[in-house]
A = this chain, B = another copy of it.
């Protein structure tokens, strides 16, 4: 309930149009649906501009489908990340237009009222081939914000010339997502070449002293280029969400 709605409620109480006890109750129970195993945050879209996203890991297909149903009752967009194919099949039961992106492991629903395509662009660049699933998660997520997405994969700093011809295009983006495992150096290099926010995603690609993504996480955290911020290891969703949010603005 936003400030305006709050004032409105107060006025209706003052006008006797709504009983005071009911108003107090309403202040407490709005904007979520209690499925017992989950409290669906149905106010998320009005607060944050995007409905609640279901983190599919460790949830059963049935749980996912129930939460999905609760969300779709209030909105036209649905995103399930880390979703298995079983989860997709369960969601399709209640939302036939659901689509499964297997590389991204995302189930997505976009209905009529979903955001229009915009002209602003998000660019996603990965250091290696193995980072592609994370990039796909970012791409599908960003698309939900109605923005355009362009991608370039396998542009790691050991062969900088693969990156350089892309710079003019990258510079046209409203936000840039850089995805890298191993040493994660790509984020700093890109950050030094552009005037838009760089969202860095460390990945668990690598072995030995990459420690499941700690190495690129620290690299990106300590970037000598300004304008770079970092999301969790392998968190393509978070990067796509943030980029979509920035590009939509």
Task: Kindly provide the distance from the CB of A163 to the nearest chain B CB, expressed in whole angstroms.
Answer: 9
A222:B232 contact, CB within 8 angstroms: yes
Decide yes or no whether A50 CB sits under 8 A from chain B. Answer: yes
Decide yes or no whether A89 CB sits under 8 A from chain B. Answer: no
Task: Kindly provide the distance from the CB of A232 to the nearest chain B CB, expressed in whole angstroms.
Answer: 4
Q: Which residues of B contact A189 (CB under 8 A)?
A: 157-158, 160, 185, 189
Query: What is the CA–CA distance of A47 and B198 in the complex, to the nearest angstrom?
Result: 14
A42 to B, closest residue via Cβ:
B159
Task: Kindly provide the distance from the CB of A119 to the nearest chain B CB, expressed in whole angstroms.
Answer: 14
Q: Which residues of B contact A1 (CB under 8 A)?
A: 161
Task: Kindly provide the distance from the CB of A21 to the nearest chain B CB, expressed in whole angstroms.
Answer: 7
User: Which of these binds chain B: A94-102, A107-115, A148-156?
Assistant: A148-156
Q: Which residues of B contact A72 (CB under 8 A)?
A: none
Query: What is the CA–CA distance of A182 and B158 in the complex, to the nearest angstrom?
Result: 19
B208:A221 contact, CB within 8 angstroms: yes
Q: Which residues of B contact A92 (CB under 8 A)?
A: none
Most B CB contacts (10 A, CB to CB) among A49, A208, A215, A249 go to A208
Q: Which residues of B contact A219 (CB under 8 A)?
A: 183-185, 215, 218-219
B158:A225 contact, CB within 8 angstroms: yes
